[in-house]
């Protein structure tokens, strides 16, 4: 892997970015950062509270500030919020620091994963499943900026991590061989 490269996990909510990122960081002995957790640290509020009190524009602004800070990190795994791709500057900044790996899942799988948790501000309005389908469609093209994409729908963490490690291994051997 490029020296001191980061691994940046992008993708829709409920695709496993944080859970996979933490496990991958342990395996690769890298630092782990979650953009939503970093925003909560900085603002002293949960993401849901930040949305409720200040709205999405303020949240996206905090998100961009956190990305600027995390882009300076080396040898880290960064799990991003699902909407990180809405700002192309965030993606360009992160792309310079390492590999963008997109985790995806079928809408019905995402629905099953997120329906029990009540901490997803963008899913508060209307029918949750319909909102997931709509947001996925809106962001589908934006997620195509990734260097590698994995559908996590029918995979366990070990399978997902093995696919990521295989991708990184292939990248490394290509870079080593010019």
Q: Is residue 22 part of a domain?
A: yes
CB count within 10 Å of CB 172 equals 13
Token pair for 69: 């800070």
Given this model, what pLDDT does residue 122 score?
55
Given this model, what pLDDT does residue 125 score?
62
Given this model, what pLDDT does residue 3 score?
52
- Number of domains forming the structure of the chain: 1
Q: Is residue 158 part of a domain?
A: yes
Can you give the pTM of this predicted structure? Answer: 0.91
Residues present in the chain in total? 178
Which residue has tokens 């200040």? 54
The answer to whether residues 68 and 93 touch, using CB atoms and an 8 Å cutoff, is: yes
Owning domain of residue 155 = 6-168
Low-confidence ranges of the chain (pLDDT < 70): 1-4, 116-126, 176, 178
- Output the domain CATH number for residue 74: 3.40.50.300
Which residue has tokens 């490269």? 5
Q: Is residue 178 part of a domain?
A: no
């Amino acid at each position: 892997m490029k020296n001191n490269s980061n691994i940046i996990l992008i993708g829709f909510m409920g695709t496993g970015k944080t859970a996979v990122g933490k496990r991958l960081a342990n395996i690769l002995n890298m630092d782990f950062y979650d953009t939503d957790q970093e925003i909560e640290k900085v603002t002293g509020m949960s993401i849901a509270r930040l949305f409720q009190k200040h709205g999405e524009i303020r949240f996206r602004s905090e998100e961009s500030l956190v990305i600027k800070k995390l882009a300076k990190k080396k040898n880290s795994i960064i799990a991003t919020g699902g909407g990180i791709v809405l700002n192309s500057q965030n993606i360009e900044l992160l792309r310079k620091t390492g590999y963008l790996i997109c985790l995806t899942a079928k809408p019905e799988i995402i629905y099953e994963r997120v329906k029990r948790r009540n901490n997803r501000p963008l899913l508060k309005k209307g029918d949750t499943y319909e909102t997931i389908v709509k947001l996925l469609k809106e962001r589908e093209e934006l997620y195509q900026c990734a260097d590698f994409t994995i559908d996590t729908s029918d995979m366990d963490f070990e399978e997902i991590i093995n696919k990521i490690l295989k991708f990184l291994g292939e990248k490394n051997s290509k870079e080593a061989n010019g």
